Amino acid sequence: MSIDWAKAEEKPDKKQAVEGRFLLDLRAKVNDLEKQLSETKTDLSGTQSDLKATKGKLETSTNDLNSTKTELNETKSILEQVNNKLEDKIQTVNDLNSEVEGLKSNLENVNSKASELEEKLESKEQEFEATISSLSSELDASKAQINGLQSSTSESQEKIDNLTSEVQELNSKLTSTQEENTKLNEQLMELNNTLLQKDTSIQELSNNLSAKEKLIEAQTAHLDDVETELGKLKPPEMGTGGFASDERITCPMCGSVGREIKQIEDKTKVLSYVGHIPMYAKKNVCKKCGYEF
């Protein structure tokens, strides 16, 4: 005789005659439920532990993310400062380039003036040589005339005096010509010194420009390194293996889902070893039909 559940609900205090097999089945079901409850509690305890560990990891990740954000902000500030400095350096380089161009233009003008002065100097030297040669010839002629006229009359003496005066004038012209030639040589030396100073200034500016270009290259390399380190500091993105899933495991034999599906260790598949302890793979078992998958 089976249990009359309707009668038991209607009169719960009244006894019923029940066959032993029904009691055994009931006890087996109760034991099964208690076992399922125990496994569920164990799973729940493990899930809670995993949840606490996950929360700890999440807090750690959050702290790391905040730290990374702080470092990122600091790095952005550094990048802005470096960019400002870089713009200043570029402006300085542009100014130096403009200054170099101006110096080159001045150097070309100085070279042009030096060439003109050299041409004038050569022309003056030729003129001086011609004048000196002419004055020497005149002087020799005058001396010859003086020697020939020494025994002449007072008129000859006047001519001698005139010729002497002309000789003195010629000597004075020769002296002034030599002084002018000396002044031109001094001007030429000053121009050569100016050219040398300009060459030195251009060399120094070129060296400064090279040093600043190397500094810009070093700062650019440093920026690349900072960006690489920022990429490494980014927290990993959560993949599809998140904390929760809307998918439900279904038994392919009977279609049972949810609590009817139990997960156990697959003793035939060893994934790894922790020391000497094997870590097995997991498999699903349908509580309703017993199918394993």
Q: What is the mean pLDDT of the chain?
A: 78
Across 86-95, 178-187, 252-261, the highest mean pLDDT is recorded for 252-261
Give domain status of residue 3, yes or no. Answer: no
Distance CA 87, CA 97 (A): 15
Give domain status of residue 19, yes or no. Answer: no
The pLDDT value recorded for residue 79 is 81
Same domain, 215 and 256: no
Asked if the model's pLDDT at residue 124 lies above 80, the reply is no
User: Of 241, 250, 232, 240, nearest to 289 (Cα)?
Assistant: 250
Same domain, 203 and 104: yes
Average pLDDT over residues 166-170: 84
List of residues 6+ apart from 261 with CB closer than 8 A: 249, 250, 251, 284, 285, 286, 287
Same domain, 159 and 271: no
User: How sure is the predictor about 283, in pLDDT bands with cuts at 50, 70 and 90?
Assistant: very high
Asked if the model's pLDDT at residue 209 lies above 60, the reply is yes
Number of domains in the chain: 2
- Which pLDDT tens digit goes with each residue over 227-245? 555 554 444 434 434 433 4
The pLDDT value recorded for residue 284 is 94
Q: Are 282 and 263 in contact (CB under 8 A)?
A: yes
Give domain status of residue 219, yes or no. Answer: yes
The pLDDT value recorded for residue 251 is 92
The more confident residue out of 111 and 35 is 35
The pLDDT value recorded for residue 287 is 92
User: How sure is the predictor about 5, in pLDDT bands with cuts at 50, 70 and 90?
Assistant: low
The pLDDT value recorded for residue 289 is 93
The pLDDT value recorded for residue 61 is 75
Same domain, 155 and 107: yes
Give domain status of residue 61, yes or no. Answer: no
- Which pLDDT tens digit goes with each residue over 176-203? 888 887 888 888 888 878 878 877 877 8
- Which pLDDT tens digit goes with each residue over 131-141? 777 777 777 77
The pLDDT value recorded for residue 152 is 60
- Which pLDDT tens digit goes with each residue over 32-59? 888 988 888 898 888 888 888 888 888 8
Across 59-63, 71-75, 257-261, the highest mean pLDDT is recorded for 257-261
Asked if the model's pLDDT at residue 119 lies above 90, the reply is no
Q: What are the distances in angstroms from CA 267 to CA 161, 187, 279, 287, 288?
A: 144, 106, 9, 19, 22
Same domain, 261 and 147: no
User: How large is the greatest C-alpha to C-alpha distance in the chain, in angstroms?
Assistant: 192
Distance CA 184, CA 193 (A): 14
Give domain status of residue 87, yes or no. Answer: no
Average pLDDT over residues 119-132: 78
Same domain, 156 and 266: no
Same domain, 103 and 215: yes
Average pLDDT over residues 100-120: 79
The pLDDT value recorded for residue 6 is 75
CA angle in degrees (0–180, nearest 5) for 205-210-212: 95
Question: Which residue's entry shows tokens 């050299």?
Answer: 118
Q: Which domain holds residue 287?
A: 248-293
Q: Are 130 and 98 in contact (CB under 8 A)?
A: no
List of residues 6+ apart from 205 with CB closer than 8 A: 96, 99, 100, 103
User: How sure is the predictor about 3, in pLDDT bands with cuts at 50, 70 and 90?
Assistant: low
Distance CA 285, CA 253 (A): 11
Same domain, 226 and 255: no
Asked if the model's pLDDT at residue 8 lies above 80, the reply is no
Average pLDDT over residues 107-130: 78
